Amino acid sequence: MVQELQLQATDLVAPLFVHDGDAPPEPVASMPRVHRLSLDALVTEARELSRLGIRSLAIFPVMPSRLKDPNGSEALDPDALVLRAVRRLRTEVPSLVLFTDIALDPYTSHGHDGVLDASGTDVDNDATVKILAKMAVLHGKAGVDFVAPSDMMDGRVGAIRGALDDAGLIHTGILAYSAKFASAFYGPFRDAVGSAMAAGTRSLDKRTYQLNPANRREALADALLDEAEGADALMVKPAGPYLDVILSLRSETRLPIAAYQVSGEYAQIHAAAQNGWLDLKATRDESVLAIKRAGADWIFTYFAKDIARDLADGSFPAAHRNP
171 burial level (CB within 10 Å; 0-12, 13-18, 19+): exposed
Could you give the residue numbers annotated as active site? 180, 237
Predicted confidence (pLDDT) per residue in 72-121, tens digit: 999 999 999 999 999 999 999 999 999 999 999 999 999 899 999 998 88
Question: How is residue 116 annotated by DSSP?
Answer: B
Predicted confidence (pLDDT) per residue in 4-14, tens digit: 999 999 999 99
Residue 1 lies in a domain: no
CA–CA separation, 207 and 35 (whole Å): 29
Mean of pLDDT over the chain: 93
Residue 180 lies in a domain: yes
Task: Say which CATH number the domain at 273 has.
Answer: 3.20.20.70
Residue 41 lies in a domain: yes
Residue 3 lies in a domain: no
Residue 322 lies in a domain: no
CA–CA separation, 85 and 168 (whole Å): 22
Residue 217 lies in a domain: yes
Predicted confidence (pLDDT) per residue in 173-226, tens digit: 999 999 999 999 998 898 888 765 444 455 578 989 999 999 999 999 999 999
Question: How is residue 132 annotated by DSSP?
Answer: H
In degrees, to the nearest 5, what angle opens at C-alpha 188 toward C-alphas 112 and 82? 60
Which residues partner with 116 through β-bridges?
A: 123
Query: E strand or H helix at 88, and its extent?
Result: helix 81-92
Residue 59 lies in a domain: yes
What pLDDT is recorded for position 323?
A: 39
Predicted confidence (pLDDT) per residue in 226-242, tens digit: 999 999 999 999 999 99
Whether the pLDDT of residue 37 is over 90: the answer is yes
CA–CA separation, 173 and 171 (whole Å): 6
What pLDDT is recorded for position 319?
A: 46
Neighbours of 167 (CB within 10 A): 16
- Domain of residue 196 covers 9-313
Tell me the pLDDT band of 321, cut-offs 50, 70 and 90: very low
Which amino acid, 109?
A: S
What pLDDT is recorded for position 143?
A: 98
Question: How is residue 24 annotated by DSSP?
Answer: P
| Phi then psi dihedrals of residue 318, to 5 deg | 50, 45
Question: How is residue 69 annotated by DSSP?
Answer: B
Residue 46 lies in a domain: yes
CA–CA separation, 65 and 72 (whole Å): 11
- The whole-number average pLDDT for the span 122-132 is 96
Whether the pLDDT of residue 284 is over 70: the answer is yes
Domain count, the chain: 1
